[in-house]
Chains A and B, each alone.
Chain A
Amino acid sequence: MSTVEKEWPLYEVFVRGKRGLNHVHVGSLHAADDRMALLHARDVYTRRNEGVSIWVVRADAIAASSPDEKDPMFAPSGDKVYRHPTFYDIPDNVPHM
C-alpha cells in the first residue's frame, strides 16, 4: 500500500453487539497502530452501547474470496441438497422431528 506513509493504515472493525453474539463487521477506520485503532473504533462505532467487545484488524491482512469467483468457490455447497434437513421426507405422524 503506497499511501501508508502519508496516511495511517486502514483497519477493519468488528463489534460484538452483546454477549452470546458473534463479532460483526461494522466498517473501517484509519489509525497509526492497533491501540489507536481500538480507541477510534470505540469512539466511531460504539457511541450508544452498540458493543461489548471490539476486534480491529489491518485491512491489508485480510484474505477474501471474490464474488466474481462465486461459482467455483461456492459450488461445492450448491449441489449437496442432502446437507439440509428439508431434503428428507418424514411422515407427518412422526413427532418431535
Chain B
Amino acid sequence: MTLTETAPGASEADLERQFEATIARHDRIEPRDWMPEGYRRTLVRQIAQHAHSEIIGMQPEGNWITRAPSLRRKAILLAKVQDEAGHGLYLYSAAETLGVSRLELTELLLAGRQKYSSIFNYPTLSYADVGTIGWLVDGAAICNQVPLCRTSYGPYGRAMIRVCKEESFHQRQGYELLATMMRGTDEQRAMVQESVNRFWWPALMMFGPPDADSPNTAQSMAWGIKRNTNDELRQKFVDMSVPQAEALGVTLPDPELRWNEERGHHDFGQPDWEEFMEGVKGNGPCNAQRMAHRRRAHEEGAWVREAATAYAAKQRGAAS
C-alpha cells in the first residue's frame, strides 16, 4: 500500500491542526493519516525497540527448553517462547505501517543502531529463572503494555491488545512454577529466593529512568503515545508485586520497601541506574552473547529465505 497521500491543496498547518484535533479527541491516528515527522520517528523507534525485545527475549528462556524438568514444563515453555516470536511479529507488522520494512529494522538491530530492553541481557542461571521471568519480567511488561493498548497510533494499540491477552498466560505460568517450587524442598525454595534476588532490581529498571531523567516522556504523553510516566508505572508494579511476593513466601530484596499509609503506596529503593546505563550502552552481562546469537540466527537462516524465494519464483514461472 502507498502511504500518506495527502489531500490536494491542504497546507502543512491544516494537516497539523487535523492531527492535533484527532489526538485531542482521543481518537486514533491510522497509517495513511498525515502525521508530524517527530511522531512517526518516535513511534518507529519505540515499536522497533519493543519488537526487537520480544525477539531477543526468546533467548534467556530458550536456554532452558532442552533442560525442562518435565514434559509439561517443556510444552509450556515452548508455547511461551513461540508467543514471544509472535509478539515480535505483531510489532514489526505495526512498525511496517509507518513506512519502514522489517528487514531494515532487523539490519538496524544487527548493526547495533537500534536497541532492545536491557532486561534480556541478564543470564538465566536456574530453572527458577523461568518462573521469575514470567512473574516479574512479564508482570512488569504487562504494567507497561496495558496502557499502551490505548496508545494514539491505531496499529500499535491493536498489536498491544493481542500481546496483553497472551502475556497473562506468561505471568500466571511463571507464578505457578514458583509456587510449585515453594511447596518443594528447602533447596528449591532457596533457588526461588536467589532468582527473585537477581531479577527484582532489573525488573524495576524495565520502566525506564526516573521521570526527571526521561526527556522524551513529556512529548510522548502529549502525543498520546505514552499514557503514564515511568515512575507511575514503577509504583504500580511495586504495589502489585508486594502481596504476590507475600503469598509466594519470598522476600523482595529491598530494605527500604515498606507501606506508606499517607501516600497509600509502598515506598521503595532506587535500582542501580549506573548498571542500567551500562546495559543500555551495550555493556550488560550478556549483550555480546545475545547479539552474536541473533546475528548467527539471521545469517544461518539466509539460505532458507533464499530457497523459499527461488521456489516461489519457479512456481510462478511454471504457472504462467
User: Which A positions have Cβ atoms within 8 angstroms of B?
Assistant: 3, 5-8, 10, 27-30, 32-33, 36, 43-44, 47-48, 59-60, 62, 64, 66-69, 71
CB <8 Å contact, A8 and B89: no
Which chain A positions have C-beta within 8 A of B315? 33
Give Cα distance in the complex from A32 to B159, angstroms: 23
Known: A3-B103, A29-B93. 15 other contacts (CB 8 A): A3-B101, A7-B101, A7-B103, A27-B159, A28-B93, A28-B97, A29-B89, A32-B308, A32-B312, A33-B315, A33-B316, A64-B1, A64-B32, A66-B5, A66-B7
Number of A-B contacts (CB under 8 A): 67
B309 close to chain A: CB less than 8 A: yes
CB <8 Å contact, B96 and A10: yes
B316: nearest chain-A partner, CB-CB: A33
Give Cα distance in the complex from A59 to B101, angstroms: 13
CB <8 Å contact, A68 and B90: no
Which chain B positions have C-beta within 8 A of A29? 89, 93
B172 close to chain A: CB less than 8 A: no
Which chain B positions have C-beta within 8 A of A47? 79, 82-83, 86, 166
B180 close to chain A: CB less than 8 A: no
CB <8 Å contact, B7 and A68: yes
Give Cα distance in the complex from A28 to B90, angstroms: 8
B113 close to chain A: CB less than 8 A: no
Which chain B positions have C-beta within 8 A of A36? 308, 312
Q: Which of A10, A44, A60, A67 contacts B86 (CB 8 A)?
A: A44
A2: nearest chain-B partner, CB-CB: B101
Q: Which of A7, A27, A64, A67 contacts B90 (CB 8 A)?
A: A27
Chain B CB count within 10 A is highest, among A27, A60, A71, for: A27
CB distance from A92 to the nearest CB of B (A): 35
10 tightest Cβ-Cβ pairs between the two chains A and B? A32-B308, A33-B312, A32-B312, A7-B103, A68-B7, A27-B93, A66-B5, A28-B93, A66-B32, A44-B89
Give Cα distance in the complex from A26 to B84, angstroms: 17
- Tell me the B60-112 residues at the A interface (CB within 8 Å): 79, 82-83, 86, 89-90, 93-94, 96-97, 101-103
CB <8 Å contact, A67 and B33: yes
B297 close to chain A: CB less than 8 A: no
User: Which B positions have Cβ atoms within 8 angstroms of A?
Assistant: 1, 5-7, 10, 15, 30, 32-34, 79, 82-83, 86, 89-90, 93-94, 96-97, 101-103, 155, 158-159, 166, 305, 308-309, 311-312, 315-316
Which chain B positions have C-beta within 8 A of A60? 1
Give Cα distance in the complex from A64 to B4, angstroms: 12
Which chain B positions have C-beta within 8 A of A68? 5-7, 10, 15, 32-34
B103: nearest chain-A partner, CB-CB: A7
B91: nearest chain-A partner, CB-CB: A27
Give Cα distance in the complex from A87 to B33, angstroms: 32
CB distance from B175 to the nearest CB of A (A): 20
Q: Which of B83, B89, B90, B103 contacts A6 (CB 8 A)?
A: B103
CB <8 Å contact, B7 and A8: no
B7: nearest chain-A partner, CB-CB: A68
CB <8 Å contact, A8 and B86: no
Chain A CB count within 10 A is highest, among B86, B305, B311, B312, for: B312
Which chain A positions have C-beta within 8 A of B159? 27
